[in-house]
Structure 1
């Protein structure tokens, strides 16, 4: 027994160490599926419809005010928005919010209502994005100089690229990809499948279409491809729901096509979706690539979560996070447990993202100021040189006129003498 005592102590020490590490690294939001609790306290969190970041028919007036379209997108005012169709000469179509109105969304739910048909092995796929950048659509980037300037200002976004299912492959933000065509000949993956990518640095991160995302440098949030039902690309009406709560770093993706919601993805791994460095906005969009199939969008519904009768500054507190626990259980029938220590840790991480964005924004403002100052100096220099040229020219003309007058007087004197 005495000989086994050291081994027993060693085994106990290993077990205790393992349990410590496991619980220390456990996620700060614990979710229990199908949780049910009788007499659940009602939550004071309310879901508010955001009309500025939503879209429904009739489309034309709303799109003219608050949305950008690009590629072969076709709009039927009381019907649907076709991103691709067999008769389109463009290989892609996208729609993206333009930032007019309230696009500052922190805790929110977005529901895309769409339908795709003839997509399998015909189209590359679809993308649903929440991005910090939309200038690649509305800016005049026909010249190489303008394109280069935009790449510098946006952090490297390749405006002329459309390989992220219609969007630039290095678009910053969250991209949910539904792949309907296996591009990699060595892949045995069956389509359709879904992947989620988070791009926080367009200079170094991108989505690689040619390998179905395998060689992408953007962070893939799901470990394995998420297999989807074929009904999703066979002409049925589909709803895709994105739930993101920045306050507690929680992301959840659901799909619905047979009456019931099916969870496709969930994470609480300190995920921060980038915001526009100048406006704090997040832009919502959908894209489709390769036009032999039909991709139609019928609506985008955006709801925000807010604490009723409280200032928005209170939505940064732990008390608000605890209210979200009750709200999530009542609204989605899932119980999430938010620990105080981990909540405080996430607040520190989030503040670092904010300070980094503010620093980048400051550099961006300095950059704009520098170029305005530079062009101002150049214009003043050109005006000075022009005025100098005019003065020198006038002086030279006066000298010529004097010489002409002297010559005339000289010849007159010679003639009469």
Structure 2
């Protein structure tokens, strides 16, 4: 659900919370030898921890128990100080100064491990590390010490929420992450959006991806916990002293307007202005549902159902996870998303969840029920018929 920017990757735009980082710009070459337990076949250099965490979160939302090896792979990526890098090819080797840890990978890993309820010590260490690199304005940048941005701050809010901390109480120099987000919100005259971060001149510019992340973050939720809110109209409120809830509503109003014409957001990548941005559209669906209820996200969700299957197939597990989270947040069925079973497709990208057989059995039972030929139904009919015959015979005997 978020945009991630890595200095090592030339500040390439990626997704926070729910699209595949870097893969949006160009599909990486497949890795010759992918680690056991890792989901997907694309090079994990820039998104291994990110996509694995999204998979665990999506499977959790579908009431599946992820494979032990999938969980252990993610846990094994953690450095001794609690931080995570995007990917470590040699996790048995201790992290050193050359390992580029970042807030986005760490925060999403917290949510992934919190989703499965394992590795509590590792989760606590990761949260402690995140708190240690909080900026004085209350927010976080992609790298420790980097300028705060809406996406990174929002994904850390999600981690704090998943851990059970109140983000409002996590402060640096008296500032909370909500203060940092409010500093990045634009007035209604500029659409009410959130900026990613100020430019070199200190100017804020609307950013749809940052807005989708910040709407969820400003409401204190994250990738793991985002759910549709109460049904209500979304409108922009002008105020010189916005609350975080008002800023979230303003951001949702901006997204609603941006989606009004085509039902989807467009890519912000250079040279791709007219291309749909499927990942950010999925994030916007979640943001709209969280702020305005399921009906607020219906149009872009319908567009995704009609158009996103090919994108997900090409992009891999993070994309499938994003669509599952968008569908689930809005009350849609991820197992019949425009005719595609997103859960089945996601599970096929890596080690099968430990409850996959149970889900298969449930699906088989649903099919039997739909066809009206359930075995238990047949047995039940037989028993009723037998009881009827018994009464009939008894009645005849009494009449003799």
Q: TM-score, normalised by structure 2?
A: 0.28
Q: Report the TM-score when normalising by structure 1.
A: 0.27
Give 1 or 2 for the bigger CA radius of gyration: 1
More helix by share: 2
